[in-house]
Amino acid sequence: MSDVDLQAEQYEKCREAGEILAQVRDEAAERVEIGASHLELAEWAEDRIRELGGEPAFPVNISIDEEAAHATPSRDDDATFGEEMVNLDIGVHVDGWLADTAVTVDLSGQDDLAAASEEALDAALDIAGPGVDVGEIGAAVEDVIEGYGFNPVVNLTGHGLGHWEQHTAPNIPNREVQQGAVLATGDVVAIEPFATDGGGKVQEGADEEIFALEREGNVRNRQARQVLDQISEEFRTLPFAARWLDSSRAEMALRRLQQQDIVHGYPVLKEQDGYYVSQKEHTVIITEDGCEVTTRSR
C-alpha cells in the first residue's frame, strides 16, 4: 500500500480532528481537580470540540479508579472528583473521520501506575509502522507495564478507526500475541495501553450511559421514533450519551429501542473494586517510514 496518498482529503480530516482533540484533551486535563464536577467537565469538553470545528466522536469518558471504559456522566450527575485516578478518553470527528485519545490525571498519588501506561504507549509508537505485526506492539506494551510491576488489561485493545466507525480492524493488543494483523501504510489506528494493579481483566458493570445504533428499524412508539430519528441524523453509527437526547422521556425510549435490538448499550467496564486502572492513548496514521501521531500536543 505504499502508493496510498496520505495527503488525500480523508487524512487531512483525520489530522484536523487530531489537532482539535489534542487541544481539548490538554485543556480538559487541566480542569480535573478535587471538587470539580464530572458533568460540567464532560459538557465543557464536548462544547469545546464543537467550538473548534469538530464534533464529539463519542461521549467524553470519565473513568474513576477501577473503571476502565464507557463511563460518562448522566443527565443529572452530581459526582465530583476526589483523591482518585481519573482517565479522560475523548474522541473527535470531522465529517466522520476520527481521532481518539486518552490521558490519566492522577489525583490519588499513584504516579507509577500512570507512568506505566504512558511509557508503554511511547514504546508502542516507537515500533509502529508498515509491516509491523500488532503482536509485537502488544509485546512492547506488556513488557513496559510488567516492568513497573503492574499488569496490562488484556481484554481491552487498541483499534482501527474507520469512516463513521469508532472500532474497526485491526485490534491492537496490550500483550504479546502470536501472528496478529500486520499494519500497512495508510492505516489509521488508536493505540491505547491500559495498566492496572489488579488482575488485568475488566468486567461489565451495571451502569450504562453510552449507546449506539445497531440497525435501522420501525418503532410504533412516538417518543422512541423521535429519539431514533435524532440518533440516525446526528450520531449515525457513532456512540452517543443518553444525556445528548432531546426527548424528555429519552430513557424510556432508549429501553424500547434496546428491547428491539435497534440500539445497544455499552456497560461501564471495570477492574475489581479496590484496584486502579491507568490509560494513555494516541491516534496514528501509519506512514511509509513509521507513524504520524495526529493527537500529539501542539
For 223-275, the pLDDT digits (tens) are 999 999 999 999 999 999 999 999 889 999 999 999 999 999 999 999 999 99
pLDDT of residue 150: 98
Confidence of residue 105 (pLDDT cuts 50, 70, 90): very high
Could you report how far apart the first and last alpha carbons of the chain are, in Å?
A: 29
Average pLDDT rounded to a whole number, residues 90-100: 98
89 is known as an active-site residue: yes
Confidence of residue 101 (pLDDT cuts 50, 70, 90): very high
pLDDT of residue 248: 85
Residue 9: Cβ-neighbour burial (10 angstroms; 0-12, 13-18, 19+):
exposed
pLDDT of residue 102: 98
pLDDT surpassing 80 at residue 17: yes
This prediction's pTM: 0.96
Instruction: Considering the candidates 167, 176, 214, 292, report the single residue annotated as catalytic.
Output: 167
Instruction: Considering the candidates 66, 89, 187, 208, report the single residue annotated as catalytic.
Output: 89
260, 252 contact by CB (below 8 A): no
Confidence of residue 3 (pLDDT cuts 50, 70, 90): low
116, 144 contact by CB (below 8 A): yes
> Which residue reads 478518553 in cell numbers?
89
Instruction: Considering the candidates 38, 70, 93, 159, report the single residue annotated as catalytic.
Output: 159
Instruction: Considering the candidates 16, 55, 67, 100, report the single residue annotated as catalytic.
Output: 100
159 is known as an active-site residue: yes
pLDDT surpassing 80 at residue 1: no
Helices 222-230 and 250-259: crossing angle in degrees, nearest 10, is 90
**Can you read off the three cell numbers belonging to residue 181?**
494483523
Number of C-alpha atoms within 13 angstroms, CB side, residue 101?
27
Tens-digit pLDDT profile for residues 25-48: 999 999 999 999 999 999 999 999
pLDDT of residue 136: 97
The dihedral built from the CA positions of residue 286, 28, 74 and 81, taken in this order, carries a sign that is: positive
pLDDT of residue 180: 87
100 is known as an active-site residue: yes
180, 173 contact by CB (below 8 A): yes
Radius of gyration for the alpha carbons in the chain, expressed in angstroms and rounded = 19
